A and B are shown apart, each in its own frame.
Chain A
Amino acid sequence: MKLRFSSVKQEQQVWAMIFLFAPLLLLGIFVFFPIVFAFVVSFYDWNLLIPDKPFVGLANYSELFKDEVFIISIKNTIIYTIGVVPTQTFAALFLAFIMNQKIKGRTFFRIAFYIPAITSSVVTSIIFVWIYSKPGLLNYLLAGIGIDAQIDWLTNPNTVLPSIMMLNIWTTSGFFMVSFLAGLQSIPQSLYEAAKIDGANSWQQFWNITVPMVRPITFFVMVMSLIGCFQVFDQIFIMSSGGPDNASTTMSFFVYQNSFKYFKFGFGAASAVVLACIIFASTYLQKKYFPSEAY
């Protein structure tokens, strides 16, 4: 059979649709439909095991904001994000800047920094459980520099969240370093040469050429890491289970607990919708106030 098209444009469109159909179908079933469905479920008292699933309107939402643990989880998630995103972005950029210099063993360092990013988060979490334990590596190193910190980092309500934040910064900085490296390579060498002639030192070159020139990458990295932070789950699940005393309960952990442990899918879905709104709003604000193409 030979297909006939009235114009080249139409032919292209038809073929595009044919090729897009399979991935769209998969995305539709496994991504778009669940998103819409979660939104619907959030208006019901939805217990999987009870056939009767009454419509409750906004009751889940109003209950949510009266829920002490949910409020704590929002607070924890925001602290986590504010702590991780800037640190991580700056660390990634800094690492990329160094890795872009002609230093000895550059490939080795690039690999070393990237390995945490490709290691399963379960593995890195378990390694850090040991590092943070009372007789663990961290306390040992601290004792080496004269600080006798006899604390168990993951069961102390004051240190548990920062400890997990540090782990996340360590694992994802290497990942975003690669994005920045790609950005750095596209900066014309002539800019640096001109700056050198004007007498700029490395630090000035970094701030006045590198940072502004990788701005689109910075935007991408910030958005991705912001979304990642708001959704943090695996590390919490493995390292602290939200404890002690909810000191590390984050929003996605709260969603999981309610949906799969307390049989409250509607309530869980409502909290997931709130989480989605927060992510959407913060990404929007970021785009509005820190546009990616200012230069």
Chain B
Amino acid sequence: MRFTSWQSSPTEEKVIRSILKGFDTKHPETPYLYQPIPGNYSEKIQLMLGTGTAPDLFWLKGYTSPSYLSFNVLKELDDYIASDASFDNEDFFPVFRNAFFKDGKCYGIAKDFNVYVLFYNSEMFEEAGLEEPPADWEELYTYSKQLTKDTDGDGKVDQYGLVIEPVHEMLMPFVFQNGGQFHDEAGNLGLTKPAFIEATEFYLKLYKDGVATIPTDVGAGWNGDVMGRQQAAMAISGAWAIPYFKENYPEMKYKVAVLPKGKQAATLAFSTAFVIAKEAPYPDDAWKLLSYMAGKEGMAEWTQSGIALPTRKSVAEENKFYEHPIYGTFMESVEFAHLYQIKFMERWSDEMSATMQAFFYRDAPVKESLQKLEEKISKYKLK
């Protein structure tokens, strides 16, 4: 039996190896081979599946899951879930329990999650006389404006209120907050609905009015970098910013809050699944390993490292995630988190990225561009 994952950091590798060691002591009768893929993960998995050399158990990126589900290359897990008494599927938060479903059947177990929250620099807030993080869009705008300033008096802004990225993932929470969506249950696109257009316009206004910046404008790699360099007071990011700040900007004082709400509270959730290949030669052994790693023990150890957050309620409760000053915000966000799984061929993502770039770098008109985009991607719908 073979198990494959990617490894984005040495910490991640250490934790995986340690969890596997725990599995070895508990199930010495189940031999397996762990084969991590360091780069171009999705490409490699695709080739392995296509050539019949896929690992039995592997990680599947959440945003690629609709394609894999529609291509029918994964094993249905319902029987395993039902017959494994120790697994306790009901323990998962509903949004993640139902994340990897097709036609009412479960094909993947959400191993962890991440959501977008608002990181803010508490010193900058204090300095500006602001006590609470922004609660809604209006406050987000006015606070950003208030926090945007020229600190050294050379006539150029060197502290922005907010930093956003010109990517569609970061636009989507605003769309959800405004009551819009990418597509409905039936797969009808909602890009040209007023809710979507309004949210896009608001998102762009933050940048065009100069109260928010984007990383490339200040020569940074990403949001966290901009905030760490004190060039922005607020940033939208996931939990991956926490170890980054700790390592690179340990002296920065920051807090986190749920994203400011629009018409309703909403954020975007990211999740990775454990899946078993349909043609796996050892599916039973693969499930054993899955059940351990995504079980209470495995998940507790995995999320303890702070890499990601637990999708099991019991793990979150027992390890005091709710009480934690930072992770508590993430857990709170689960209530109104939307998964971002678009049931279209992956080209939609690049088309949408191109449109976002056109908004930011070419000043493209919002409504016309979204109309054109909807027309283009409608033909990539997955069956």
Cα distance A155–B362 in the bound complex, in angstroms:
10
Q: Are B71 and A47 in contact (CB under 8 A)?
A: yes
Answer whether residue B358 sits at the interface, using C-beta atoms and an 8 A cutoff: yes
- What DSSP secondary structure best describes chain A's contact surface? loop
| Chain A residues whose C-beta falls within 8 Å of the C-beta of B37 in the assembled complex | none
Q: Are A134 and B47 in contact (CB under 8 A)?
A: no
| Chain A residues whose C-beta falls within 8 Å of the C-beta of B346 in the assembled complex | 261-263
Question: Which of A48, A156, A245, A262 is B355 in contact with, Cβ under 8 Å?
Answer: A245
Q: Are A136 and B216 in contact (CB under 8 A)?
A: no
| Chain B residues whose C-beta falls within 8 Å of the C-beta of A263 in the assembled complex | 46, 67, 71, 345-346
| Chain A residues whose C-beta falls within 8 Å of the C-beta of B376 in the assembled complex | 68
Cα distance A154–B216 in the bound complex, in angstroms:
9
How many chain B residues touch A (CB < 8 A): the figure is 30
- What DSSP secondary structure best describes chain B's contact surface? helix
Q: Enumerate 22 A-B pairs (CB-CB under 8 Å) in ascending A order.
A: A47-B71, A49-B50, A49-B68, A49-B73, A50-B72, A134-B216, A152-B216, A155-B361, A157-B361, A157-B362, A243-B357, A244-B357, A244-B358, A244-B360, A244-B362, A245-B355, A245-B357, A245-B358, A245-B361, A257-B350, A261-B350, A263-B67
| Chain B residues whose C-beta falls within 8 Å of the C-beta of A152 in the assembled complex | 216-217, 219
Cα distance A133–B47 in the bound complex, in angstroms:
35
Interface residues of B, Cβ cutoff 8 Å to A: 42-43, 46-47, 49-51, 67-68, 71-73, 216-219, 345-347, 350, 353-355, 357-358, 360-362, 364, 376
A217-246 Cβ-contact flags toward B at 8 Å (1 or 0): 000000000000000000000000011111
| Chain B residues whose C-beta falls within 8 Å of the C-beta of A155 in the assembled complex | 216, 357, 361
| A50-B362 CB under 8 A given contacts A133-B219, A243-B354 | no
| Chain A residues whose C-beta falls within 8 Å of the C-beta of B49 in the assembled complex | 48-49
Cα distance A243–B364 in the bound complex, in angstroms:
15
Answer whether residue A284 sits at the interface, using C-beta atoms and an 8 A cutoff: no
Cα distance A48–B354 in the bound complex, in angstroms:
26
How many chain A residues touch B (CB < 8 A): the figure is 26
| Chain B residues whose C-beta falls within 8 Å of the C-beta of A47 in the assembled complex | 71
| Chain A residues whose C-beta falls within 8 Å of the C-beta of B353 in the assembled complex | 243
A25-59 Cβ-contact flags toward B at 8 Å (1 or 0): 00000000000000000000001111000000000
| Chain B residues whose C-beta falls within 8 Å of the C-beta of A244 in the assembled complex | 354, 357-358, 360-362
Answer whether residue A135 sits at the interface, using C-beta atoms and an 8 A cutoff: yes
| A134-B68 CB under 8 A given contacts A49-B49, A262-B347, A263-B46 | no
